[in-house]
Chain A
Amino acid sequence: MRFKSTGVLPGFGLSMGFTLTYLSLIVLLPLAALILKTTTLTWPQFVDEVTSPRVMASYRLTFGASLIAAVINSIFGAVVAWILVRYDFYGKRVVDALVDLPFALPTAVAGITLTAIYAPNGSIGKLFKPLGISIAYTPLGVTLALIFIGLPFVVRTLQPVLESLDPEIEKAALSLGASRWYTVTRVVLPSLIPAWITGFSLSFARAVGEYGSVVFISGNMPMKTEITPLLIITKLEQYDYAGATAIGVVMLFISFTLLLAINWVQDKAGQHRVIH
């Protein structure tokens, strides 16, 4: 098996050489350093670090809130994608452009802004205060920030798939006597499932690693509203490099698992489309 098999154009050595060097220096070597650093811990030490009660509490918050946010985004993101592709309404182009705001708005700005809105004296927070519900500085606030940050993923993965659906299929369903409800739930929505899963996973993966938009609204109380990425920073500030690294490796492992899962779903979906 030769490294280079085909291609007549020049520049393979130069472009591949630069690509591999740059990739190794910026991404691969530093990540290897992270793994290497973990080996300074023995296995029991590593397990202790990543399963201490404070760390476990942060996993529960991070993964729980990320999961809820991803579910909510999957529902409302689908509605937004649907109305952008299927319906015409005034201001549609503005809504379409706004969907990318969480990508474009720096996370720190999102963080302080959401905190200001949902704090007890904020424009939405004060509506809930008489009901005895606080949003900022609780897991609820964390979830809201994660909804904000994950919204574009679901919309932007569903949108192109919805656009590319063949209208003939829906006409066929209609001519075979299916009601509109039946067509949508049994014909249209099932063909969206791979993209839906991808959007959900991307939104979830982003939420798990998110720091900037959460750290202001969460209040950062240990055991209660402390997210896992913050815990890494806290340990670094206490010069507990090994502890920070151990938690980092766990998060890295989870990110890679999600990345592989997303790639797998997309591959499956690709094959699915070829067969039909």
Chain B
Amino acid sequence: MTKETLIVSLKGENATDPVRALTEPRWVRWSLIGVGVLFVALFLVMPLVEVFGSALDKGLEYYLNAVTDPMALSAIKLTLISAFFSVVLNTVFGVASAWAITKFNFWGKNLLITLIDIPFSVSPVIAGLIYVLLFGLQGLWGKWFIDHNMHIIFAVPGIVLATIFVTFPFVSRELIPLMQEQGSDEEEAALVLGATGWQIFWKITLPNIQWGLLYGVILCNARAMGEFGAVSVVSGHIRGLTNTLPLHVEILYNEYNFTAAFAVASLLTFLAVVTLIAKALVGARYEKEKEVLPSSLESEPTL
């Protein structure tokens, strides 16, 4: 800064009013809010409105028919199945990996954390491709599985596997930093007092991490139900058998059955909105959990 500008800024009204000088002039604030809100409205609100608008294009009856069509119902069922397996398995994995990583020191810890993150940085198409290369007809183990009458690719197990892959790190990623922050003091105290490993986990650790865990589960579930790319590669698009909700949307859309496509899409959009609300509600409690002071001490009544 040159001498001149320094003098100018000292003389300027900002320098005389410390409160105002710590924020921007009113016109700047309103312009930035305007630009930010407009950007969000254009890119985020408009698609939301469009989905529900297009879904109800041909009236309520058409909408209800589209979402209760047998093919839609079977897609809903498959979506629920694959989300169930992904959430349960990845939650168990999330807890186990966070326990191993945060309660012990071992060689290669950072490498392990990076490896857990891999599915986030891999294109969903590649997530599907790797299972085709393993279990597909030309795949590494494909022939063995097919000879033993186990169909994985173009069948439900492949869809479940691909969904598990893309949602793999969600729970783990929330729990590792959370449990790192909380430390092991409470668990070690319980150990000294004679608690067993499982007692420590159920009575000490789990209550301490419950909101972070739920937060991870919400994210995992949303992604599992909405996954498209990975599932598309392994599904084979067999109607009524290997179609999840997002794939059903694609099929209807490609058949130029736009209103029905948006009707089914509106179910997924509704799920996304519920996810956002749940995330906001759980997120507030999760933030509290992240504070180092254990919640049990905070809520103790003062005598």
A residues at B contact (CB < 8 Å) = 1-12, 14-16, 18-19, 22-23, 26-31, 33-34, 36-37, 76, 79-80, 82-84, 86-87, 89, 91, 93, 95-110, 112-114, 116-117, 123-124, 147-148, 151, 167, 170-171, 174, 177-180, 182, 184, 205, 208-212, 216, 229-230, 232-233, 236, 239, 241, 244-245, 248, 251-252, 255-256, 258-259, 263
Contact = CB atoms under 8 A, between A and B. Distances in A.
A109 B125 contact: no
Interface string B9-48: 1101011001001111100010011011101100111111
A106 B268 contact: yes
Please report whether the interface of chain B is mostly helix, strand, loop or mixed according to DSSP. Answer: helix
Interface of B: 1, 5-6, 8-10, 12, 14-15, 18, 21-25, 29, 32-33, 35-37, 39-40, 43-48, 50-51, 54, 89, 92-93, 96-97, 99-101, 103-107, 112, 114-119, 121-126, 129-134, 136, 138-140, 161, 164-165, 168, 184, 187-188, 191, 196-197, 200-201, 219, 222-223, 225-229, 232-233, 245-247, 249-250, 253, 258, 261-262, 265, 268-269, 271-273, 275-277, 279-280
A26 B32 contact: no
Given A87-B33, A259-B114, A9 B276 contact: no
B188 A8 contact: yes
6 contacts: A4-B106, A15-B99, A19-B112, A36-B140, A212-B228, A229-B125
A117 B50 contact: yes
B44 A101 contact: yes
Interface core residue of A11, A37, A102, A208 (most chain B CB under 10 Å): A11
Contacts of A8: 188, 191
B227 A106 contact: yes
Contacts of B119: 27
Given A7-B103, A12-B100, A79-B39, A179 B5 contact: yes
Contacts of A33: 130, 133-134, 139-140
Contact of A98 (B25, B44, B126, B132): B44
A29 B25 CA distance: 57
A20 to B, nearest CB: 8
A114 B18 CA distance: 46
Contacts of B51: 109, 113
